[in-house]
Chain A
């Protein structure tokens, strides 16, 4: 019998392709990720978009400026207030509309509450992607309290369309401030539970520390923004760099971490929640009185030209680029959404890792699919 020796380099394992999504528990929406696997190790990641493309940018071209606000709520459904705020700011800048001080304060409170809801939901779903189910319910419980407040004051829970050009849709209810104060107190208590259940957990720390390293250079070249980039040491908080609606007068810290890994992204988001609470507390004690909006004409026309406005959404820099031909409808409205740019980071940080790490990476980047597809 012939004695054949096989060296380890000749032995090859077959790579295979697995479709994660469009219907998959880890993608939280209809993202399809084509993953090439060698056993458990990820060799290539190829995201496919378009499963929830609704043509929002095109639809704005046949609607007035005021009406397009309502479409932006549907983009990133977890930060509808911030999307509305962006659109309102861009229109106000173009049409040179003055916004009352009370409206500005209410807008910032709503923005920060929205950031809290978004991060709370993220916290739950991130822990669920790493395998713990219970945090999901805790995250939803706390988010629910804020959504109730939104419902009382804006009439809606998810797609508020409350922030409009010239101010806000209606004034907040008389009991808004005391209710919000009580709410903030309980949110602070809930934060302790978060740390007890997940932050201090040995398994969770080992699943996130040193995993999914996104260097500062990569973050810059991929156009990452928000907590994802700030966890890589990149200062990119629009609220600090290009303040709007009075963020410059408030005392808050831009949360930056130099860890670059999943743990750093986790820590940044947790700390951002504390900063949001801090911002709201400063505004609550002296909420300006007066008008809540400037009356505008029925049909709003922007002077011909090009306008760009950016805000800090819960996931990063959200921008809108408006081209106006002087008419009542935008010639073109282009959104620069944070999730679309951040999605690019999934491949470089996941290749060579295990498939379980891919889920953890996608979770800490905090992808919201309708925000990418629009």
Chain B
């Protein structure tokens, strides 16, 4: 990335400023809180956009306009809904397990937010730059099922229990092929660090480099991650035509709101991982050819023309990787919405068959092929 100002310059400047007047432990604490709040707020903004987008996408696919009464083109609809949810009573059924019932939504929210830590939003813009980044995300996101199981069990409702059990079977199964397709890319990139994986795609995104296994892994990951998020056509945990609302049938008010929010946060995290691993994260699109027109295109993509601009304008270039990162994020999310509003739902046995008979063997074979590629030194 050839931009004049890096995010790391900004963070280093803030760090030096704080260190000059505070004790190191206080600096660490302030930085931790500020960074965490910034990441969560950024994600919540994404969620707001996603919810609005889902309503509009669904509306236009279904010959409707979507929300268009509250605010300009219905932009304030979500805020009206949140106010409504906050004002509603969070009702606990009489014979429910009160502790688990209350903890379940909070737990699943915490788990989803934790998965955000090692994600690289831009060059140098990463909350926790760790060498086990992708592994951490995989480990944390498989814990999300505990919150769903707790919610289903504690509600003392048969629909909720059935939904939770389905969700348990589903997430545990699809973790496997999602994990294996992540490993495929990790093997190609040679690192678990999210920033490192993105850097490895500087000469082309993994899906565009021409590695067939990478393309297969991308398709498998998109399917498996849609299932992990409990999104249609894999929304068996809340299959509304069978189980009314599945595991959150008994939840109301903001407790329901947290589950709803959680679904979108999960989608966001999954889409971030997908864009990091397969679509080059914050890397702009470069043409992998060696002729003048392609070079000109690549120079524009790398913002070379900004080098001659005054320094105060070149600050704008900080936003360029973010534009790519969020563009890819919302592209993947759009595809997930497209699935949801066109496909019928699978049955539970078909769902498990798809994973254990097709996706898992395919991803294992895929991984073995990639391993062979790397051993023979054929990858680039």
Contacts and interface: CB of A to CB of B under 8 A. Distances in A.
Interface of A: 16, 18, 24-26, 37, 39-40, 127-134, 136-138, 141, 197-198, 201, 203-204, 206-207, 354-359
Given A16-B158, A25-B241, A26-B241, A357 B63 contact: no
Given A25-B240, A26-B242, A131-B233, A356 B63 contact: no
A259 B158 CA distance: 34
8 contacts: A18-B158, A40-B349, A128-B241, A134-B62, A136-B62, A204-B344, A354-B349, A356-B242
A263 B342 CA distance: 19
Contacts of A24: 244
Interface of B: 58, 61-64, 158-159, 162, 165-166, 232-233, 235-236, 239-242, 244, 341-350
Contacts of A203: 233, 343-346, 350
SS class of chain B's interface: helix, strand, loop or mixed?
A: helix
Contacts of B232: 131
Contact of B348 (A130, A131, A134, A354): A354
Given A18-B159, A131-B232, A134-B62, A354 B241 contact: no
Contacts of A128: 241
B348 A40 contact: yes
Given A26-B241, A26-B242, A203-B233, A127 B344 contact: yes
Given A128-B241, A358-B242, 13 more contacts: A16-B158, A25-B240, A131-B235, A131-B346, A132-B343, A137-B62, A141-B63, A197-B342, A198-B344, A207-B345, A356-B345, A356-B348, A359-B242
Contacts of A136: 62
A39 B164 CA distance: 12
A146 B235 CA distance: 34
Contacts of B341: 133-134
A127 B344 CA distance: 7
Contacts of B347: 207, 354, 356-357
A207 to B, nearest CB: 6
B349 to A, nearest CB: 6
A354 B169 CA distance: 15
B63 A132 contact: no
Interface centre among A39, A127, A128, A132, by most B CB within 10 Å? A132
A111 B266 CA distance: 50
B160 to A, nearest CB: 11
Interface centre among A16, A133, A141, A206, by most B CB within 10 Å? A133
Contact of A132 (B166, B244, B345): B345
Contacts of A16: 158
Nearest to B243: A355
Contacts of B350: 203, 206-207
A358 to B, nearest CB: 8
Contact of B63 (A137, A198, A354): A137
Interface centre among B165, B232, B236, B345, by most A CB within 10 Å? B345
Nearest to A211: B347
A132 B62 contact: no
A137 B348 contact: no
Going nearest first, the 10 A-B pairs with the smallest beta carbon separation are A131-B345, A137-B62, A132-B344, A131-B344, A130-B344, A356-B347, A26-B241, A129-B241, A204-B344, A203-B344
Contacts of A137: 62-64
B345 A134 contact: no
A157 to B, nearest CB: 19
Nearest to B232: A131
A138 B241 contact: no
Contacts of A204: 344
A19 to B, nearest CB: 9
Contacts of B241: 25-26, 128-131, 359
A133 B62 contact: yes
A203 B188 CA distance: 33
Nearest to B169: A40
Interface centre among A26, A39, A40, A358, by most B CB within 10 Å? A40
A314 B53 CA distance: 39
A40 to B, nearest CB: 6
A357 B347 CA distance: 8
Contacts of B242: 26, 355-356, 358-359
Nearest to A137: B62
